[in-house]
Amino acid sequence: MPKIVTLPGDGIGPEVTAAAVEVLREVAPDVTIEEHAIGGGAYDTYGDPLPQRTRDALEDADAALLGTVGGAHNSPWNTLPRHLRPESGLLALRKMLGCYANLRPVRVQPGLEHLSPLKPELARGVDILIVRELLGGIYFDGDRKIEGDTAYNTMRYTTAEVERVAKVAFWAAEQRKGRVTSVDKANVLEVSELWRRDVQALRDREYRSIHLNHEYVDSVAMLIVANPGRYDVIVTENLFGDILSDLAAVIPGSLGLMPSASLGDGTGLFEPIHGSAPDISGQGIANPAAAIMSVGMMLRHGLQRGDAANVVDRAVALALREHPTRDLGGRADTRTFTRTVLDAMGTPAVG
């Protein structure tokens, strides 16, 4: 019996996680689900954004499902010492699980082009996989401090870190259209120079069937929305991947449509890419689709249940057609949308 640890977190995290758990229970009734604390709420209760009891529960978990962490700009959590802030709990969790590759799919399902603010001919058929490096770069290690009127962070990568995430991107491309775009800032940054050199060398050594090209991050920020159809797999470092994936959420139409899978050597972590949305939390109107689709990614990548994942994805697409949430210009609240997904899961597949 697989054990799933859920970590609802802060803001809309508990709202979207509750929806995702309902769907998980329906599609995989045999799993055991254990809920634990993370983020600002965990700090308030236990004095730690990733409490020991949460770490212990993850030891024998088959997968973890995260909601969101963090508060509003004026939250008292934001003035805590950095290691006690909600976001540090999430970073520590990713590190602890060894999740170095974060898969962020950007898809416009057939018949859902109207949810995109892009022209339908640009949105139609978009299917991009952003592979974001998740345990390195400016987020982790290296010198970091703020001293009076001067502050430092250090962007650092090693060949081993670049290669392990690039392998995931090449592997994914092999199951898709065979194209990888590596995104960097090699015209300015030494770290990017190493990144580009190592990704190309790995391709030339082990993945000669893959078509690899290199693009600069500033240009990709434009092209990914101006002509998203040109991308298959994108691989990039931690911070660039964070920013580009929020930008790419414009293509399907909302951050609420962006799930993710964080994979590595051990337990996988499945999380919507959006934050705790303090502006709408507590109102019951958050779009739970990204969290529900993250359950789909968990079934596919964490539990090897591809058929169940397909059932979830199909039901979400149907619900988006029937009862879109407010972020997509619709009227459904979280409850109505989730109900529609659950109902759709019970209807037989067409075609």
List all residues 6 or more positions away from 175 whose beta carbon is below 8 Å from its beta carbon. none
Closest residue to ligand IPM, Cβ-based? 87
Does position 87 interact with Mn ion (CB under 5 A)? The reply is no
Report how far residue 103's alpha carbon sits from residue 135's, in angstroms, rounded to the nearest whole number: 13
Class of residue 26 by CB neighbours under 10 A (exposed 0-12, middle 13-18, buried 19+):
middle
Minimum gap (Å) between residue 50 Cβ and ligand IPM? 12
Report how far residue 5's alpha carbon sits from residue 330's, in angstroms, rounded to the nearest whole number: 32
> Is position 44 annotated as part of the catalytic site?
no
- Convert 250-266 to b/e letters by CB count within 10 Å (16 or more is b): bbbbbbbbbbbbbbbee
Residue 333: C-alpha distances to residues 19, 79, 283, 337 (Å): 11, 33, 9, 6
The amino acid at residue 332 is A
Does position 242 interact with Mn ion (CB under 5 A)? The reply is yes
Q: Is the Cβ–Cβ distance between 84 and 48 less than 8 Å? A: yes
Instruction: Give the largest CA-CA distance in the chain.
Output: 64
Residue 182 or residue 262: which is nearer to ligand NAD going by CB?
Answer: 262
> Is position 139 annotated as part of the catalytic site?
yes
Nearest to 228 by CA among 210, 252, 258, 246: 252
Residue 104 or residue 305: which is nearer to ligand NAD going by CB?
Answer: 104
Does position 42 interact with ligand NAD (CB under 6 A)? The reply is no
The pair of structure tokens assigned to 93 is: 């969790």
Does position 91 interact with ligand IPM (CB under 6 A)? The reply is yes
Minimum gap (Å) between residue 247 Cβ and Mn ion? 10
Does position 87 interact with ligand IPM (CB under 6 A)? The reply is yes
Residues 89-118 that bind ligand NAD (CB under 6 A): 90
Residue 170 or residue 270: which is nearer to ligand NAD going by CB?
Answer: 270
SS3 state at 45? helix
> Is position 3 annotated as part of the catalytic site?
no
Does position 257 interact with ligand IPM (CB under 6 A)? The reply is no
Residues 21-80 that bind ligand IPM (CB under 6 A): 70
Q: What is the DSSP string of 116-137?
A: SSS-HHHHTT-EEEEEEE-S-G
The pair of structure tokens assigned to 154 is: 């250090």
Stretch that binds ligand IPM, among 87-95, 182-190, 196-204, 219-227 (CB under 6 A): 87-95
Does position 90 interact with ligand IPM (CB under 6 A)? The reply is yes
Does position 129 interact with ligand NAD (CB under 6 A)? The reply is no
Q: Report helix, strand and coil shares of the chain as percent, to nearest 5.
A: 45, 15, 35
Report how far residue 295's alpha carbon sits from residue 272's, in angstroms, rounded to the nearest whole number: 10
| Residue 91 binding partner per list ligand NAD, Mn ion, ligand IPM, none, with a CB distance cut-off of 5 to 8 Å that depends on partner kind | ligand IPM
Tokens 């969101």 identify what position? 68
Tokens 């590759």 identify what position? 101
> Is position 343 annotated as part of the catalytic site?
no
Stretch that binds ligand NAD, among 27-35, 136-144, 168-176, 275-283 (CB under 6 A): 275-283
The one catalytic residue in 10, 242, 327, 333 is 242
Cβ neighbours around 305 below 10 Å, total: 19
> Is position 242 annotated as part of the catalytic site?
yes
Does position 242 interact with ligand IPM (CB under 6 A)? The reply is yes
The one catalytic residue in 100, 139, 157, 207 is 139
Stretch that binds ligand IPM, among 48-56, 86-94, 172-180, 329-337 (CB under 6 A): 86-94
Does position 183 interact with ligand IPM (CB under 6 A)? The reply is no
DSSP tag of 62: S
Q: Which sequence positions are flagged as catalytic?
A: 139, 185, 218, 242, 246
Interaction site with ligand IPM (CB under 6 A):
70, 87, 90-91, 242, 273
Interaction site with ligand NAD (CB under 6 A):
12, 16, 68-71, 87, 90, 255-256, 271, 274-280, 286-287, 290, 327
